[in-house]
Amino acid sequence: MLDLSGPVLEQAPRLLNAVLRHGDVAVRLTEVEAYDGANDPGSHAYRGMTRRNTVMFGPPGRLYCYFTYGMHVCCNVVCGPEGIASAVLLRAGEVVDGIEVARERRAGASDRDLARGPARLCRALGIGLADDGVDLERGPVTLTLGSPPDDVSTGPRVGLRAAAERSWRFWITGEQTVSSYRPAAPLRASRRPDLSS
């Protein structure tokens, strides 16, 4: 029984070493990031429910998938009590089964890079927008929790402007498959004139 109904900051590290499977390909998760719905300016759910983020407001244990930058799909596991809209972004992992299929999907990538990065992870697993809302106990995408890692590191989330000070990124210390840290791009000059000075 997959119970992820506790506070998201407690659930996120529990997902390390968990195995996400879709068909023949399975990935052991090595890096995740927490997003805390109502209290978190970095969360897709911060401004309330929209068509995109509806799944976040539903029960825990479902997959929330979204499309970004015109070409990438990323996925999260919904955590916390229903209605709180918290989720954990799956940032990276190690392919532990179906590596031949994963290599085809990620042609040109080294084995280490197959699922190193949130969009790469979805690509390697063949996860798309059609999988938004999937119940991870029923499939077709499934999640199986693993044994807690020996050592967990934490740090700032990657690529966010909002709430960059929160250390809500968790990874298994020393893992080669953890994605490289990249701070958010600086805000471009506003189109509106600044009248304050």
Residues engaged in binding DNA (CB under 7 A): 33, 35, 42-45, 47, 50-53, 64, 67-72, 74, 76, 87, 89, 106, 108-109, 113, 117-121, 157-162, 179, 187-188, 190-191
CA distances to 4, 55, 110, 133, 176 from 61, rounded to whole Å, are 6, 10, 31, 9, 27
Cβ proximity to DNA: between 99 and 119 the closer is 119
Question: Cβ of residue 142: shortest distance to DNA, in angstroms?
Answer: 20
Quote the CA–CA distance of 171 and 181 in Å, as a whole number: 12
Q: With residue 160 as reference, give the H or E element that holds it.
A: none
Least distance to DNA from the beta carbon of 153, Å? Answer: 18
The C-alpha angle 172, 173, 176, rounded to 5 degrees, equals 80
Instruction: Note whether 171 and 31 are within 8 A (CB).
Output: yes
Q: What is the C-alpha to C-alpha distance for residues 173 and 16, in angstroms, rounded to an integer?
A: 11
* Shortest Å distance, C-beta 160 to DNA: 5
Q: 67 or 151: whose CB is closer to DNA? A: 67
Of 51 and 194, the one with the shorter C-beta distance to DNA is 51
Closest contact distance (angstroms) between CB of 105 and DNA is 10
The smaller minimum CB distance to DNA, of residues 151 and 183, is found at 183
